[in-house]
Structure formats: structure tokens, C-alpha cells
Amino acid sequence: MINKNKIPVGILGATGSVGQKFIELLQDHPWFKITALGASERSAGKLYKHASNWFQQRPIPARIANMVVSECKPDLPCRIVFSGLDASVAGPIEEAFAEAGYIVISNAKNHRMTDNVPLLVPDINPDHLDLIKFQKYKGKIVTNPNCSTTGLVMALKPLQDVYGIEKVSVVTMQALSGAGYPGISSLDIIDNMIPYIGGEEEKMQIETLKILGKVHDEKIDFADLTISAQCNRVLVMNGHMEAVSVKLKQPAKKDDMIKVWKTYRSEPQELGLPFAPDPAIYYFEDPRFPQPRLHRDLGKGMAVSIGRLRDCSVLDYKFTVLSHNTVRGAAGGAILNAELLIKKGYYEE
């Protein structure tokens, strides 16, 4: 049924950087068809090609280019909306849609830490989706985490399951696209690095604990581990790199840890969801890898790459993680969330 009759979906914040990535990724999706584009009042009423400053690699799909943009009001011809709204406006708009019966798949931070809202990475915590049973809306809200958090938890979860994790230290080197459009001035970033991304370190430290936690009494009991994050902006277009050190609760051998990563599979892979990478994790023996330019598009941008596992003189082990921030860490991750929600029976026409 899904393949023959595609599910109508809308995009909120359709003219922004995340909204554009939703359009790019959804145009050939086997389950979904874009039927509505929502944006600000100044864009509403215009054709999308006139309202947006398109900067994706692929041209605007002709059908989308000639769609009329609507305001972000819950009268769109669909029941599922993907939200790429800026956090400054996302909260009340997403709640209005959920109250009206829409399923909101959000990339914004506003509802991530709400007790009964899943902060979902389907390969990591698919059981957290059950939190939507406890929401009081006519519809539902599901969120995905910060882009830098996503890569980190993909690397940590397999280790947590087998060995347990006590402490984590992570230093990020984050791509320019994570700052949105127009982003950072060229005069600030060329020949430079910026050792500060507002709110990013706090998000990584708290979101990771919720994602790796357990469902209990209509909320999540946060994981019992300590995280220290330092976040930097670097001159790379796409792909967040992270230098991670971990202290494990149980002894581990490096060869066994690598095998744990390479063989890791979860519900999205077992269900064969369209956006589920298989393998979900690549491990590189070459100490030069992973690199953003070479490996960010593995698994159509949904896989995570790990390399350089070695002993750490402060904690136990250290390694490097790479993930595609606008695909796995934003729009693609949200699309995978919607696929899991549908496959688990939470959507009815």
C-alpha cells in the first residue's frame, strides 16, 4: 500500500536550509509525497522557486518549484509534517499542528527534552518511540537530536550495550552547513577555526543522556554516565568530525570493539526501512580515515564512520567519528524517524 499510494507530507520552514534538504531527500522517496510547503508570511502566496534561495546540489524538482507556499498553519493537505523551522519560532507552531491532529517530525530543539516526546535515533533507541502514547495532543511530536549528538550516540550505543560506558570526552570539528544559510561570514572562517558554537556543548551533553536512557513511567530515565563536550566550527562544507575518548565499565579488547561496531544492527535495518543504512557503521583500519570529503556520503549520508581506535592515557580508549550533519544529523534522520513511526503502526490515514 505504501508504495502504490504515497503518504502526503508537508514541510514547515521549507525555504530554509533544513527545509531544502527535506525537499531534496524526499523527492524520490518510495513512501512519501510532498503536498504542502509552509514558510513565513513573507514567503506565503509565492511560488516556491520565487520564495526560496535554493542552494542544494540537485535542482529544485519542477513540481516543487511551482508549488505555492503556505503559511505555517495547521490547515495543510497532509497529516505528517516535517519541521525544519528555526527554534525561535518552532515551539508554538509545532504544538499548534500537534493539537490539530498532525504528526510533527521535528528537527528543532524546542521539544527534545520534554518528558513524553521521543528524542529519536531509530538505530539507537527505537523503543523510545512508545513515548508518544503518553502525549495529550490529537496528533504527535517526535524529535531528532542535534546533528553533532547523532554521530556521537551512533558510536557509543554499541559499546554501551556490550561494555557499559562510564565517562565520555568529545571534541567536535563541525561543518559550516550546520550553521544554516547564510551561516558564517567568510571573513570569520577562512584561515580560521571558531572554538565556540552557542548551546552546542550543552545539547551534546544532555541529549546523549536521554537518547541512551531507558523508558520508565512515561518518560526517560537518563543514562548514568558523564560527558564533556567541546565544539568547534571548521572550514568544511558538510560532515561533522568528532574526537572521542571513553572510559568503559567492563574490560574490552580493541579487536572486539571494532567487531561490535561493524556488526551493529538495529530495528531500522531489520525492518528494511528506506533510509536505514546497512551497515549503519563503517570502521576504517587506515589511520588517515575517516575524512569528510571521502566518507560523509556513505550509506547515502546516513551511515556513521569510525576510525583510529587506540589506547587513551586519560580514559580507556579514543577514536574518531564522522557523520553527515545535514543528512544523518538533520533531514535524513527525521525522515528515518517517520519511516519507523509508520512501520510500527502509529500512522493511520
Judge if 153 and 107 occupy the same domain: no
Of 111, 128, 240, 324, which residue is the catalytic one? 240
Extract the residue ranges of the chain whose pLDDT is less than 50: 1-2
Residue 28 and residue 130 in one domain: yes
Domain match, 169 and 306 both: yes
Provide the domain limits for residue 100: 7-146+331-343
pLDDT at res. 2: 47
Query: d(Cα 236, Cα 232) in Å, to the nearest integer?
Result: 11
> 130 and 160, same structural domain?
no
**189 plus 75 within the same structural domain:** no
Question: Of 147, 231, 295, 324, which one is the catalytic site residue?
Answer: 147
What is the per-residue pLDDT for 348?
Answer: 80
Evaluate whether residue 1 is within a structural domain: no
Does residue 14 lie in a domain region? Answer: yes
The pLDDT, as a whole number, for residue 288 is: 98
Predicted local distance difference test score (pLDDT) of residue 4? 60
pTM of the predicted model as reported, rounded to 2 decimal places: 0.97
Distance separating alpha carbons of residues 163 and 259, to the nearest angstrom: 13
Residue 2 lies in a domain: no
Q: What is the per-residue pLDDT for 120?
A: 98
Asked if residue 348 belongs to a domain, the reply is no
> Do 134 and 155 sit in the same domain of this protein?
no
Q: What is the structure's pLDDT at 1?
A: 41
Domain-located, residue 104: yes
240 is catalytic: yes
Verify that 111 and 214 share a domain, yes or no. no
Number of domains in the chain: 2
Same domain flag for 175 and 53? no
Q: Is 29 exposed, middle or buried (0-12, 13-18, 19+ CB in 10 A)?
A: middle
- Give the per-residue pLDDT at 340: 98
Whether 78 is catalytic: no
Same domain, 218 and 256: yes
